[in-house]
């Protein structure tokens, strides 16, 4: 069923921008322009920002609550709206308010997802009827993770983040910890000690042999060396289940897969772990999404 947004008293409509976790992330090479070739499973989860949008008749794009130290002009939501406006010669504008919940610099794709939600929602609100592929191509100009959120399904992701193969992932709950550091993505990718030659595991994964290969995050050793707080969170979480970093960090997570026999088992285990969290650490429980809530806002 198509997503129907709630509307507030000022006429803003609310659209979710879900987070992602990288179940693993391998660097398989580097392009001539410095961008890295990846192989990763991107998993949508139900933790989300909310993007409030209201169509304007005067063509302006106005951000009503820009983040401190980020000029509205460089905010990804504003850039997404302007990019779409320019591409389609759209006369309408939009008011934007962002309800931020996802950690910034956390490796959960929050900023990219916010931008993807603006593109998807305006495709509907401005009656543009652009195809998913057209929106993904536009989105890649804003950031390497944006096309995934427009693709809208859990996926094996390759290239720099633009080549997607939908993949079935098990229903699961996650304990996500947020170390109190903001990781600069370019510094992690640019580190001389980063390994950039992990062999492709695509065939093994698509043949369902994920249990026979080692799935890691190649960015983790670099991030952990720069930010010991990430190592502390991984160490604490590893007492309960294998723990890994997502994206370029800083967030780390452990996965609890739902067991068909025991309803709520994965949620109960995740809740039990988070209830032991030391008071100096921050974290939450989240569950898998099988698809983006706004999936049908673009046509295939
Ligand atoms: O595209 P995005 O803004 O998400 O990427 C931030 C930075 O991360 C890039 O400027 C680049 O340094 C690095 N990056 C990379 N290879 C990727 C994605 C990001 O080197 N596939």
- Say whether pLDDT at 124 is over 90: yes
Residue 135 CA, ligand 1 centroid: distance in Å: 19
Task: Record the pTM.
Answer: 0.96
- In which residue are the tokens 């809740």 written? 271
Strand boundaries in 57-181, DSSP class E: 61-63, 93-99, 155-159, 163-166, 172-177
Percentages helix, strand, coil for the chain, rounded to the nearest 5? 30, 30, 40
- In which residue are the tokens 């401005």 written? 126
**What pLDDT sits at residue 212?**
87
248 CA closest ligand 1 atom index: 8
**What pLDDT sits at residue 206?**
86
Residue 91 CA, ligand 1 centroid: distance in Å: 32
Q: Kindly tell me the burial class for residue 90, based on how many C-beta atoms sit within 10 Å of its own C-beta (0-12, 13-18, 19 or more).
A: middle
Which of 25, 27, 36, 219 best tests ligand 1's pocket when mutated (most atoms within 8 Å of CB)? Answer: 36
Strand boundaries in 89-201, DSSP class E: 93-99, 155-159, 163-166, 172-177
Which of 35, 116, 163 best tests ligand 1's pocket when mutated (most atoms within 8 Å of CB)? Answer: 35
Identify the weakest region by mean pLDDT among 211-215, 257-261, 288-292.
257-261
Residue with the smallest CA separation from ligand 1 atom 11 is 186
């Amino acid at each position: 069923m198509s997503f129907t947004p709630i509307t507030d008293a000022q006429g803003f409509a609310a659209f979710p921008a879900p987070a992602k976790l990288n179940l693993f992330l391998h660097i398989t090479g580097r392009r001539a322009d410095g961008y890295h070739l990846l192989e990763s499973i991107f998993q949508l989860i139900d933790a989300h920002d909310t993007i409030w949008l209201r169509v304007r008749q005067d063509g302006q794009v106005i951000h009503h609550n820009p983040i401190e130290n980020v000029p509205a002009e460089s905010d990804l939501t504003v850039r997404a709206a302007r990019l779409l406006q320019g591409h389609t010669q759209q006369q309408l504008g939009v008011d934007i308010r962002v309800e931020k919940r996802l950690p910034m610099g956390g490796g959960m794709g929050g900023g990219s997802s916010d931008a993807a939600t603006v593109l998807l929602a305006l495709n509907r609100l401005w009656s543009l009827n652009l195809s998913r592929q057209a929106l993904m191509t536009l989105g890649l100009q804003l950031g390497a993770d944006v096309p995934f959120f427009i693709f809208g399904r859990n996926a094996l992701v390759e290239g720099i983040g633009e080549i997607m193969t939908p993949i079935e992932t098990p229903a699961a709950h996650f304990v996500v910890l947020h170390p109190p550091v903001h990781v600069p993505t370019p510094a992690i990718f640019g580190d001389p000690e980063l390994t950039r030659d992990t062999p492709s595991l695509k065939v093994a994964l698509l043949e369902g042999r994920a249990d026979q290969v080692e799935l890691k995050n190649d960015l983790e050793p670099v991030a952990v060396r720069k930010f010991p707080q990430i190592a502390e969170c991984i160490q604490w979480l590893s007492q309960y289940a294998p723990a890994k970093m997502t994206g370029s960090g800083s967030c780390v997570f452990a996965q609890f897969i739902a067991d068909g026999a025991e309803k709520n088992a994965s949620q109960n285990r995740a809740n039990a772990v988070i209830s032991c969290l030391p008071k100096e650490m921050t974290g939450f429980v989240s569950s898998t999404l099988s698809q983006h809530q706004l999936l049908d806002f673009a046509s295939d």
